[in-house]
Amino acid sequence: MKPAKGKGAPRTSKEAVKPVDDRKVGKRKAADKSSKGQAGKDKRAKKDPNKPKRPASAFFVFLEEFRTTFKKENPNVKAVSAVGKAGGQKWKSMTDAEKAPYEAKAAKRKTDYEKLMNAYNKQDDGDEESDKSKSEINDEDEASAEEGQQKQEDEEEDEEEQEDEDDDDSDY
DNA sequence: ATGTTGATTGTTTCC
DNA sequence: GGAAACAATCAACAT
């Protein structure tokens, strides 16, 4: 069931580049169907029928582009971990200003995600309720979700940021 | 043949 | 408030 434990990366040695970094996610499990027979009350969370996937964070947005670039310069590298590491290092190397555009995009995705969640939350399946918690927000918003549908494309508001400067004021 | 792992960081989620 | 899970990706490896 849990293959590849000793030999992790296929070909990319996992050279720990970071001195202090615990890979928390080391093993989170992709699909654990161990004994769950019951209403998913095992550890954390339950089973959601079609819940929207989490929005890609700025890092992931950056990674998407980075992957393409990285693979272009390293067609031989086929390990996802290699891109992950390389991307991670570069990400840390980037400044907030450079991350800004990615964050902006990620922020947009988050907004969309909220919309999806709104629709998702609306779904009421007869069962599954939170016992006594009657937090039903309620109604009346049926159209809201539809309304948000329009405008898929972003309209970019140009963010002009870049306030670089560090330097000083010339008081000198 | 199908499923899972691996690695990165950021956000999301639950208690 | 904090900890754990999970988001994309793709080839390789395990069952």
Alpha-carbon gap, residue A91 to A99, rounded angstroms: 8
CB A155 within 8 A of CB A108: no
Question: Does a structural domain hold residue A35?
Answer: no
pLDDT tens-digit profile of A24-49?
555 555 444 434 344 444 455 566 66
Please count the structural domains in chain A.
1
pLDDT tens-digit profile of A57-106?
999 999 999 988 988 888 777 788 888 888 988 998 888 888 889 988 88
Alpha-carbon gap, residue A20 to A161, rounded angstroms: 33
Q: Which run of H or E residues covers position A68?
A: helix A58-73
Residues 40-69 of A with CB under 7 A from strand B: 44-46, 54-55, 57-60, 63
Range of the domain at A89: 58-123
Q: Which nucleotide is nearest to A23 (CA to C1')?
A: B7
The enclosing domain of A78 has a CATH number of 1.10.30
CB atoms within 10 A of CB A83: 20
Residues 91-110 of A with CB under 7 A from strand B: 91-92, 103, 106, 110
Q: Which of A47-56, A63-72, A149-158 shows the lowest per-residue confidence on average (mean pLDDT)? A: A149-158
